[in-house]
Amino acid sequence: MTILGEPIFAKNPDGLLKSRIGTIFFRTPGLVTQRGIHAMQRMAWIRALNDARTAAGQPLLTEAEEAAELADSADLLFTDDYVLIRPDPSRMDLAFKADEALQAFVSKRKIRFLNTHAANVRDALRARGENWRMARRPASPDEIDRSIEDARVSIQNACIYYYNGQTGTRYLTAGCYAVVSALAPDAFRAQVEEIVKGLAGRNRLGQPDIALFPPSLPPDVTEAFRGIKPETLDDAALLAAVEAAMQKWRLALPANLREETTANFSWRNEMSAALARRPNETEIGDQELIQGISPEFYRQIEWLPGARIENGELLFDSLFDEAARTEDPELLELCDSRVRSIIFNLLRLCGKVEYVNVGRIARSLARYPVEGHRRGSVYIVQFKATDEDRARVIVVRFQKWGIAEHLDEGKDLLRAIVEANEYADYILDRRLACRQLGMNLPHRVGFGQVTEKYHGLNQYNGTPVRAYYYSRGYVTGVASDKVPPERFRNPAFALAFAYLMGEAAALDMVVGRAATETGESMFDRNFEVLQPGEDGLPTRIVVTDHAGSFVKYKESFDELVGPYANVVRRRRAFVADFAAFAKAYVTGFERKLAATQSAYRARRSSFDNLFVHRPYDTAGSGAYRWSRVLARLDACDPAAVAESLRKAVEA
């Protein structure tokens, strides 16, 4: 390939890139990095081709040949870290040709695509199994919250803006007007003048000095503020003009963004996205990657290199080869071997698959996480079968205690295998037990296994062992701990939520669900997903994972019931009628506990004999725990337990 100009990433003595743009050509392979604009680079390429033809005694390119050279090309931009391909959404074939050619000079992980806001670009990358090349980098909830708080700035007056350091834009929220409206007349005028001027101004990057939040507001809202002329209005008229513009803003503001706090996941995620925007955006949000994904997944999925499928053939990403060749620690971390195994299993079992993308959940999604989540144990798989209209999303969770974990305890290989298999049975038995008691779990769960080398201090270091995982369909809805606070201002929603959560709490307590490591309650911490009806009110709760069930099988209900009061107590500030909210919760709890007890007593033998074929060991086998859970349920007084819950709520 002929190169006109400096190599990619070449820098001046002052450390600045020699060129920020490039153009790559395919008809006659070439790359132009000379300084200027893309049009000038195209002219330079044609001149270079004609000079070469003249030197070889050949005729100059015809007009049609020049047009063909220019048409078969792609624009590039360079940053200190990346080569950015600017694709024509209607000619993604050229973008991918550029991608393949550039990999001769640059590692694939350093190549990104612009225009990911265009559906054609996203769809083309998704179809190649390359969500990882356009996803936002994962960030912890604490990091997101801190970045928003740190973004608070002022210009010359009140501290009312959120500053995007990448674009230089300061975002103004509707809630900030409470600060502005409380100012004395002179300060109010100065603040409004600053806002109006900023909304009309552009910084050196060509970005707005000030913008109204969210960026998706209709343009006429911003125009209403820009149209205010403070210098022509007296104090009363200025206040009236601003109030009129504010009214237009409030009416256009989506309901889920009116509660301006990081406790509101919708507002937090929208603000974080606005503050993370860059002039040459190569990343998109999770909603664009998976339609209908819940707000709690915002920037929590770490999409990873995987594979693409061409003509039915599975082609793993070339980065896996680069990682194996270079042994680069960062690249080895990115190229997760479990991703290859998950994709391999999917293709072996599902037949015709059009595309597949796999992401890793970097950390627990619970608002109040408990111990036990380990990076690399939970994955999101998005795949589309060729005979289906829509992509499917499944959640893959690796078994917490597998062969490798038992080897880490110093056990021999046979004992580790036996105990891992016993634990796999225990997990599935607990699922069956929870369903028998009425817990609303996902209808179908798959079981799979991958082979991976054991790396640890045991003598079996380097030995291939099996790791087990469980898969289920993604459950649509919103986790109970992520419901936006403003939803509880609707009494109908609040009461429906409370009653359903009360029912779910009763079953959670019956099965003695708690974190194995700490004994903490796991209820209302991400696993209970609310699903709404057509009227938007919650109609059912699906418990996405029965992890932690039967941990508390010895304790009495009086010992267990206290923490369940936190479900209503932590929402006291959000509901208009807390007494009614608490009453609905306790009522749902009592009725479900009584109904579960009645179901057991009516069909006692079907419950008692469910695990009669399993080992019964008073040291804590699954069958023994099941018998203790049933005995505790049979002996309880639902009204008395509910009264204990009521007192805990009121304490």
Token pair for 618: 């008073």
Q: What is the pLDDT of residue 166?
A: 78
Secondary structure, 3-state, 327-363: CCHHHHHHCCHHHHHHHHHHHHHHCCEEEEEEEEECC
In degrees, rounded to 5, the angle at the alpha carbon of residue 363 between the alpha carbons of residues 413 and 347 is: 65
Question: Residue 129 — φ and ψ, nearest 5°?
Answer: 70, 35
Closest CA to 36 of 49, 22, 48, 47: 22
Percentage of residues of the chain with pLDDT beyond 70: 96
Q: What is the pLDDT of residue 363?
A: 63
Is the separation of the CB atoms in 2 and 46 below 8 Å?
no
The pTM for the full model equals: 0.80
Question: Residue 608 — φ and ψ, nearest 5°?
Answer: -60, -35
Helix spans in 76-140 (H): 92-102, 119-127
Closest CA to 144 of 371, 333, 334, 296: 296
Tell me the residue type at 449. Q
pLDDT tens-digit series, residues 510-559: 999 999 888 899 999 889 999 999 998 999 999 999 999 999 999 999 99
Strands of the sheet with 445-453, listed across from one edge:
301-304, 353-361, 378-385, 392-398, 464-473, 445-453
pLDDT tens-digit series, residues 327-338: 999 999 999 999
First to last CA, the chain: 76
Distance CA 270, CA 260 (A): 11
Distance CA 489, CA 494 (A): 7
pLDDT, greater one: 476 or 625: 625
- The residue behind tokens 């149209």 is 227
Is the pLDDT confidence value at 278 over 80?
A: no
Q: What is the pLDDT of residue 192?
A: 95
pLDDT tens-digit series, residues 45-76: 999 999 999 999 999 999 999 999 999 999 99
Q: What is the DSSP string of 626-649?
A: HHHHHHHHHH--HHHHHHHHHHHH
Average pLDDT, the chain: 91
Q: What is the pLDDT of residue 301?
A: 87
Mean pLDDT of 232-258: 93
pLDDT tens-digit series, residues 568-623: 999 999 999 999 999 999 999 999 999 999 999 999 999 999 999 999 999 999 99
pLDDT tens-digit series, residues 472-518: 999 989 899 888 888 899 999 999 999 999 999 999 999 999 998 88
Strand runs labelled E in 362-484: 378-385, 392-398, 445-453, 464-473, 478-479
Q: What is the pLDDT of residue 298?
A: 65
